Amino acid sequence: MLQSLASNSCVRLIQSHKSTWYFVSLVLGYVLYLVFGAVVFSSVELPYEDLLRQELRTIKKQFLQENECLSEDRLERFLKKALDASNYGVSILNNASDNWNWDFTSALFFASTVLSTTGYGHTAPLSSGGKAFCIIYSVIGIPFTLLFLTAVVQRIMVFSTRRPIMYFHRRWGVSKPLVAIVHATVLATTAVSCFFLIPAAIFSALEDNWNFLESFYFCFISLSTIGLGDYVPGEATNQKFRELYKVGITVYLILGLIVMLVVLETFCELQQLKQLRKIFYLKKDKPQDHLAILEHDHLSFTTVSNGATVYNEGKTQPFVSVPSLVSPNDDPMIQ
């Protein structure tokens, strides 16, 4: 008997806080996913890092043996200076070329990566004025970009998602959720083909050292706004039509980001995903709040009505008692 009561109470407790338990499971799942990613990245990349370290030590040792007049300290200072400059996008390997990091097209490409929060990190402001302007430019520009993207996506969604779904739903009589799923799948396939597969093939042809996987990797890292910066197009030595190439990449990033947002918004409007999201949200007690407001308004109205009644009753009573007159002869002044 006690066990059944305890089990019933536990079931009622779980059901009454179902949203909280779902949220806790979501947080635990996210933490486990982070740990899983860390384990996989560490196990895959750590051997390559160790191999690269050993190779660099070997090359450095061989270089010092071949150049005995150069001390290790001087070499370390030179390498540190070169690496610091490389972090700002200035390389000693191609300074003799015409590739500048802050000409107009390169600056336009940098501004687009800042406003879209992609931030490859291959180029960064060198001066204090440039860093200060970058802060002010980002504070104003990032919300402006979010507003711009929201307005564009909202208008595109009307013609790319809502109207086609309603058309096929009314024309063919197919259920609206099924039409939405098929439409979202077709839209996602088209977006992947036009903004991942085809651009990856183009980048692999234009960039000398990129294969198809690396080009597809760049497209995904860019349009997902991760922006690691390990692959940046148009940075090769003596790149042909570099200015036009940079402008084209800027246009590709903006259009691709808009298309990705349209696809995500299309999937977010699916009924199945809406129901899935609701189980993790905190439920609002709208009926209780509404009843509390009504009760408060009723009490306030009752209080005001009682006060008005008391006021009216007090107003009908005179301050000095006046005797009632039966006839004019009863008035002593007339007599």
Digits of tens for pLDDT over the chain (335 positions)? 545 555 566 556 666 667 788 888 889 998 999 999 999 999 999 998 899 889 988 988 888 888 888 888 888 888 888 887 777 767 776 554 566 778 888 889 899 999 998 888 778 888 889 889 999 999 999 999 999 999 999 999 999 988 998 988 888 888 888 999 999 999 999 999 999 999 999 999 988 889 999 999 999 999 998 888 888 888 776 677 878 888 999 999 999 999 999 999 999 988 888 888 787 777 766 555 554 554 555 444 444 444 444 444 444 444 344 444 444 444 444 43
pTM score? 0.72
What pLDDT is attached to residue 227?
86
- Which pLDDT does position 3 carry in this prediction? 57
CA atoms within 13 A on the CB side of 203: 26
Amino acid sitting at position 165: I
Distance CA 200, CA 191 (A): 13
* Token pair for 212: 């198809």
Q: Which fold has domain 102-281?
A: Helix Hairpins (1.10.287)
* pLDDT number for residue 308: 45
Q: What is the DSSP string of 18-50?
A: HHHHHHHHHHHHHHHHHHHHHHHHHHHHHHHHH
Q: At what angle do helices 128-157 and 242-268 cross, to 10 degrees?
A: 50
Distance CA 27, CA 298 (A): 43
pLDDT of residue 201: 95
pLDDT of residue 312: 47
The pLDDT score that the predictor gives to residue 287 is 53
In the prediction, which pLDDT does 320 show?
A: 40
- SS3 label, residue 249: helix
Q: Assign residue 177 a region: left if phi > 0, alpha if psi is -120 to 50, beta otherwise?
A: alpha
Question: 165 near 193, Cβ under 8 Å?
Answer: no
- Predicted confidence at residue 334, as pLDDT, reads 40
Radius of gyration of the chain (CA): 36
| Two tokens, residue 38 | 């860390």
pLDDT at 193: 96
The three-state secondary structure class of 333 is: coil
- Which residues have CB under 8 Å from 63's CB, separation 6+? 75
Q: What's the CA gap between 187 and 118, in Å, rounded?
A: 24
Residues 6 or more apart whose CB falls under 8 angstroms from that of 75 comprise 60, 63, 64
What pLDDT shows up at residue 295?
A: 54
> Which one, of 73, 58, 72, 113, lies nearest residue 89 by Cα?
113
Per-residue model confidence (pLDDT) at position 332: 44
Which pLDDT does position 203 carry in this prediction?
93
pLDDT at 39 (0 to 100): 93
pLDDT at 132: 93
Tally of residues, the chain: 335
CB 176 within 8 A of CB 165: yes
Give the number of other Cβ atoms within 10 Å of residue 201's Cβ.
13
| CA–CA dist 125, 132 (Å, integer) | 9
pLDDT of amino acid 144: 95
